Amino acid sequence: MRRQHYSMNERGVTYLMLMFAIVLIGIATTAAAKQWKVIVQRELEADLLAKGIEIQNALAFYSMTFKAGRVMPGEVYPQTLADLTRLPKPFLRKVYLDPMGHGEWEYLLAPTGGIMGVRSKSQAKPFRKHDFPPDVRHFEGRVTYHDWVFQHPNPSSTPIVPQGAAPSPAAPLTPGPSITPGGSAPVAQPAQEPSPMNP
């Protein structure tokens, strides 16, 4: 009887240890899966920034090239991203897909026609909220990847004035001659106070 009782106790302890090991393995697997998901998302986020900035720059170069010599003012945009890859002068290496959405981009269409920007269809929250590259510094504080719009004209190319801060007034300048084609621009001088008249 004692030997049988001892054997039952031994089996009970072994069963408890096995269950405890299974729980530990489950916790470790869950933590590893979460860590892996974070690593993958960070890599996709970096890929989104790199490809989005490349498309944004390609749109700018495309417009700059096709505006040259035009009579009508305004930006010029491609009808598709494939237009940016056309020879003999491709502006984009290849037509990229949305890394976060794993498919087509959502296009920002220009009022005059064509694609002026792209954005991810993903509504996921980015890890990066601050310290963006200069080309996309207007992404500061954006809530989702869908809020990251890579476009031309680029909002980051204009000075960003903090809320509540007024731009400093420029010093008054004296009128000068206009710039002629091929000539050098005149240097504007600050306006001088009129000298007091003698009595």
Per-residue pLDDT of 32-70, as tens digits, reads: 778 888 999 999 999 999 999 999 999 999 999 988 877
**Which of 20-29, 130-139, 141-150, 160-169 has the weakest average pLDDT?**
160-169
Cα angle 55, 57, 58; round to 5: 60
> Does the pLDDT at position 188 exceed 70?
no
Residue 149 resides in a domain:
yes
> Does the pLDDT at position 110 exceed 80?
yes
Residue 36 resides in a domain:
yes
Q: Which residues contact 167 (CB under 8 A, 6 or more apart)?
A: 161
Residue 105, domain extent: 2-157
- Is the CB of residue 84 less than 8 Å from the CB of residue 116? no
Residue 164 resides in a domain:
no
Phi-psi region of 113 (alpha: psi -120 to 50; beta: other; left: phi over 0): left
Residue 41 resides in a domain:
yes
Residue 194 resides in a domain:
no
Residue 146: what pLDDT? 97
Q: Amino acid identity, residue 9?
A: N
> Does the pLDDT at position 131 exceed 60?
yes
| Global confidence as pTM | 0.67
- Is the CB of residue 49 less than 8 Å from the CB of residue 133? yes
R_g over Cα of the chain? 31
Split into its structural domains, the chain has a count of 1
Residue 195 resides in a domain:
no
